[in-house]
């Protein structure tokens, strides 16, 4: 044994309060595909293949979001970890790429000797792997990871926190929520924070429709595969008969609503069966299934949504000189 021993484990994985309702994928697919306007929820993109395809998206030249956010953290992360005073502890919702989180962890450990990092993610496997490599890399770090839906976890009192919290909701994940839902989500986060706590919110900026549509419909077809994987997942998990070649990927930026809307479009009229749901569907030629909304936030939009959540926008950082993305610090 080494001379230094510790009684506190630096890594703990807790499972969230409400394990995800089994069968919710099936029920959501039934409801979405029998609705007058067909839709599927984007949260179902991220099975094993979908998560791998998303990782590929983040290195596409056209998908600038991840690189822009990483640049902002590299250049301005030192300010973010100091802005609330120190020490702080981190709570991350939907722990994104370890690369981005590591930047902020390293910056925080420059101004305080120890740091608690509490990632919350639906995937317990991903949490365990990243938590283990983080505690191995940073001796001052304690990881308390929560496997579960982040709103279930945030809503319960069991979330361990001692000092001032800097919560993080990065990667433009807020953009997947319809505006009313986004406001509700931020109010929910705010409710779990104490006065003086902060929230780092990564948001994509409104911009030229051509830039946005290329980001969501890359010429290599990775994003198309990411979208079509939803149908592959229905085939795999629910005994579906979708012919993936009979659907096209469509991404359209609606500048009035400020969002890229993604769809799967039937290339011809066709019938599809979903065996496990005992469901027979028909598609007209050109009929669309809405699969994702990716809302873009102007600086004024961020001010408004912060106010609606009962928080104030303390500071924002952007990627210079392009100004494509923003990381915002909201304070309760
Ligand atoms: C990870 C949800 C932020 O909406 O930009 C990437 C997902 N969809 N390409 C986004 C996504 C198509 C992404 N988010």
Least confident of 39-48, 120-129, 205-214: 120-129
Least confident of 148-162, 173-187, 227-241, 311-325: 148-162
What distance in angstroms lies between residue 224's CA and the mean position of ligand 1's atoms?
12
| pLDDT top residue among 107 and 122 | 107
pLDDT bracket for residue 1 (50, 70, 90)? very low
Least confident of 73-82, 95-104, 199-208, 287-296: 95-104
pLDDT bracket for residue 3 (50, 70, 90)? very low
Find the Cα–Cα–Cα–Cα dihedral 93, 95, 100, 103, rounded to 10°: 80
Rama region for 149: left / alpha / beta (φ>0; ψ in -120 to 50; rest): beta
Nearest residue (by CA) to ligand 1, atom 2, is 173
pLDDT for 187 beyond 60: yes
Beta bridge partners of 11: 143
- What integer best gives the mean pLDDT of the chain? 93
C-beta separation of 244 from 232 below 8 A = yes
pLDDT bracket for residue 23 (50, 70, 90)? low
pLDDT in tens, 76-104: 999 999 999 999 999 999 876 678 899 99
What distance in angstroms lies between residue 85's CA and the mean position of ligand 1's atoms?
32
Nearest residue (by CA) to ligand 1, atom 1, is 173
In which residue are the tokens 């001692």 written?
A: 162
Nearest residue (by CA) to ligand 1, atom 9, is 216
How much is the average pLDDT of 199-206?
98
Distance CA 6, CA 198 (A): 30
pLDDT for 7 beyond 90: no
- For residue 65 and ligand 1, the question of a CB distance below 6 A is answered with yes
pLDDT in tens, 44-84: 999 889 999 999 999 999 999 999 999 999 999 999 999 99
* Nearest residue to 32 (alpha-carbon basis) of 20, 21, 22, 44: 44
C-beta separation of 316 from 302 below 8 A = yes
- Ligand 1: atom nearest CA of 215 is 9
What distance in angstroms lies between residue 281's CA and the mean position of ligand 1's atoms?
28
- For residue 173 and ligand 1, the question of a CB distance below 6 A is answered with yes
- For residue 176 and ligand 1, the question of a CB distance below 6 A is answered with yes
What distance in angstroms lies between residue 104's CA and the mean position of ligand 1's atoms?
22
What distance in angstroms lies between residue 63's CA and the mean position of ligand 1's atoms?
9
- Ligand 1: atom nearest CA of 294 is 4
| pLDDT top residue among 20 and 305 | 305
pLDDT for 32 beyond 90: yes
pLDDT bracket for residue 28 (50, 70, 90)? very high
How much is the average pLDDT of 17-33?
81
Beta bridge partners of 168: 92, 200
What distance in angstroms lies between residue 38's CA and the mean position of ligand 1's atoms?
20
Determine what percent of the chain is predicted with pLDDT higher than 90. 83
Q: Which two tokens stand for residue 288?
A: 């669309």
What distance in angstroms lies between residue 294's CA and the mean position of ligand 1's atoms?
7
């Amino acid at each position: 044994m080494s001379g230094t021993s510790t009684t506190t484990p630096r890594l703990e994985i807790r499972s969230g309060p409400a394990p995800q309702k089994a069968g919710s994928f099936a029920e959501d697919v039934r409801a979405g595909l029998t609705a007058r306007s067909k839709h599927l929820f984007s949260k179902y993109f991220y099975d094993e293949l979908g998560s791998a395809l998303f990782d590929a998206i983040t290195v596409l030249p056209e998908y600038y979001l991840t690189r822009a956010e990483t640049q902002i953290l590299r250049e301005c992360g030192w300010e973010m970890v100091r802005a609330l005073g120190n020490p702080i502890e981190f709570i991350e919702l939907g722990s994104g790429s370890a690369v981005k989180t590591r930047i902020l962890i390293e910056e925080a450990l420059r101004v305080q000797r120890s740091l608690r990092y509490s990632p919350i993610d639906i995937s317990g496997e991903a949490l365990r792997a990243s938590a283990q490599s983080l505690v191995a890399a940073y001796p001052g770090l304690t990881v308390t990871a929560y496997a579960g839906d982040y709103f279930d976890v945030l809503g319960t009192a069991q979330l361990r926190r001692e000092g001032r919290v800097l919560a993080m909701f990065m990667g433009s994940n807020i953009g997947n929520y319809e505006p009313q839902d986004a406001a509700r989500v931020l109010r929910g986060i705010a409710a779990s924070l104490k006065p003086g706590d902060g929230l780092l919110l990564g948001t994509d900026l409104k911009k030229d429709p051509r830039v946005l549509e290329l980001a969501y419909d890359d010429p290599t077809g990775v994003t198309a595969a990411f979208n079509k994987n939803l149908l592959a997942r229905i085939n795999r998990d629910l005994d579906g008969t979708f012919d993936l070649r009979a659907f096209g990927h469509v991404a359209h930026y609606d500048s009035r609503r400020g969002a890229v809307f993604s769809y799967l479009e039937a290339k011809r009229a066709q019938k599809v069966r979903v065996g496990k749901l005992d469901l027979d569907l028909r598609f007209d030629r050109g009929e669309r299934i809405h699969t994702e909304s990716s809302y873009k936030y102007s600086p004024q939009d961020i001010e408004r949504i912060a106010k609606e959540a009962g928080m104030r926008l303390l500071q924002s950082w952007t990627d210079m000189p392009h100004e494509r993305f923003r990381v915002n610090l909201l304070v309760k």
